[in-house]
Structures are given as structure tokens and as C-alpha cells.
Amino acid sequence: MSFEILLQDDRLCAINKPTGIMVHRSNIGTDREFVMQNLRDQLGQRVWPVHRLDRATSGVLLFALDPGAARALGGSFMNRRVDKGYLAVVRGWTGANGVVDHPLARHGRAEPRAARTDYERLASCELPIPVGGFDTARYSLVAARPETGRRHQIRRHFKHISHHLIGDTTYGDGRHNRLFRRHLDCHRMLLHANRLALEHPSDGRRVTIEASLDGEFARVAREAFDWPDEPGRPASSKESDGDRHLR
């Protein structure tokens, strides 16, 4: 497997990670293929991961190409000097924008730590398919910006406000996941890291990396939300309230 390279220089490499592959080996996984090993083989050199994405999440994934860059970027992530942007499809119609400020614990017995996610609804749709006692099914396409980096933060935060991510088999709503599989032929979690902005470890200049949607997510965005291929752009200036109703 080879990856789409979004940015590469002598110290950094960013790829557009596909869904369904883990970043590196895990004691709890049985996967035989990982991003780190494949990217190392693709570039012909060692790589250092500086952050991670879940197996089911696609999008911008950044690696350092030397230990010094890895240390510098690790400090940037730890000190929240990196801006992270995601696109997600969630059940229901969210507000136009909002903030989820809800502490999260890494493990069940661990002390919860502060966690905050800002979000904006980019578009919405209503499908003429009964689900959960309702005659139709409503969904929102949202841009999410986590200010902290807790485990599964976006997924857990949207569950907390009852707008579960579509395709999330851990924190999601099975009824809506099944609807997307049966009626939209979508079998993945609809969460995509579309933007990463950070200071370059060599000279401190601000670097912004973007990854377009592709595959099932791009198709669902186009068909259900009339969303363009470019990340971060509203679907249509004609629909000022962001709502699109499918009949």
C-alpha cells in the first residue's frame, strides 16, 4: 500500500491516511499492516509518528523524518500549538455552532481531564427513511476543532450531546449506522482529519496541510449533502441556513 503525500521536505512528511489501517502496532490489535511500516518502505527511510489517528479515521497524518523534528513537533502538540480540523457526519441536526466542554477519562477509573471541542454545522440533510420511531432521518455535516487531544475525543463528545458519529461502532448509534450501510452503501466511520496547521520545526513558519475527502465519505457528502470535493467550503451559498432536504 502506498499513500498520498500531502507534504514532504527534509524533516516532515504528511500523508492522507486511508480509513481502516492502524498507525502502528498495538498490543490489543491483530492487524498485519500499519501506516508506519508502509510509509517507511514507500520513502525508503525511517519515520517518527508525532500524533495518531484511529484506525477508522482518515485524513492528515504527520510524521517527522528525524528525532529532532519529532521532539519539536511532539512539544507543539503537547502545548496545543497545533490547530486540528475534522469533518464528520453526525445523527440529528446540530446547532449552527457550539462548544462541547466535557472532561474525559482515558480509562474507566482514571481521573477525567479537561476536554473541549468547538464545532460548526456546515450542512444538513433529511432522508425519507424511518428510523428510531421517526418518519425521516436527519443528519449534519460538521466541522470539528478539538482544542485538547483526549482519546476518541470527537467521537465521545458528540455522543455526549446525542449527535453520535455515523459509522462509529463503539460510541455511535447502531440504528443510524445500519441505515447508512443499507441505504447509502457506506461501511466506514465518517470522521476525516481535513486540516492541520503547525509551526515548522526548522524555522517556525506556519504550515497548513489539508486533505480532501475521498472514497465513501466523499460520495456520501456529495449525494446526501451536496458537498463539494474541496474541504472546508460550504455546499451552496443559496442555502444560507445550511439545510438540504432529500425526498
12 CB neighbour count, 10 Å cutoff? 22
On whether the CB atoms of residues 58 and 18 are closer than 8 A, the answer is yes
Residue 141: beta bridge partners? Answer: 89, 123
pLDDT digits (tens, 9 = 90+) for 74-87: 999 999 999 999 99
The C-alpha cell at 43 is 520513502
Among 74, 61, 81, which residue's Cα sits nearest to residue 199?
81
Residue 93: beta bridge partners? Answer: none
- Choosing from 54, 101, 185, 203, the catalytic residue is 54
pLDDT digits (tens, 9 = 90+) for 131-144: 988 999 999 999 99
Burial class (CB in 10 A: 0-12, 13-18, 19+), 89: buried
Q: How confident is the model at residue 228 (pLDDT cuts 50, 70, 90)?
A: confident
- The pLDDT score that the predictor gives to residue 33 is 80
pLDDT digits (tens, 9 = 90+) for 143-195: 999 999 999 999 999 999 999 999 999 999 999 999 999 999 999 999 999 99
- The pLDDT score that the predictor gives to residue 243 is 40
CA distance 219 to 217: 5
Helical H runs in 79-173? 153-160
**For the chain, what are the domain ranges?**
4-231
At 95, which amino acid appears? G
Annotation: CATH topology of 4-231: Pseudouridine synthase (3.30.2350)
Catalytic: 54?
yes
Flag whether pLDDT at 104 surpasses 80: yes
Computed over every residue of the chain, the mean pLDDT equals 90
* CA 128 to chain centroid: 27
On whether the CB atoms of residues 246 and 127 are closer than 8 A, the answer is yes
The C-alpha cell at 56 is 477508522
Q: What is the mean pLDDT of residues 223-245?
A: 53
pLDDT digits (tens, 9 = 90+) for 188-221: 999 999 999 999 999 999 999 999 998 999 999 9
pLDDT digits (tens, 9 = 90+) for 9-63: 999 999 999 999 999 766 565 667 899 999 999 999 999 999 999 999 999 999 9
- The pLDDT score that the predictor gives to residue 245 is 35
- The pLDDT score that the predictor gives to residue 242 is 39
CA distance 161 to 170: 16
CA distance 232 to 16: 16
Flag whether pLDDT at 244 surpasses 90: no
- The pLDDT score that the predictor gives to residue 226 is 86
- The pLDDT score that the predictor gives to residue 130 is 95
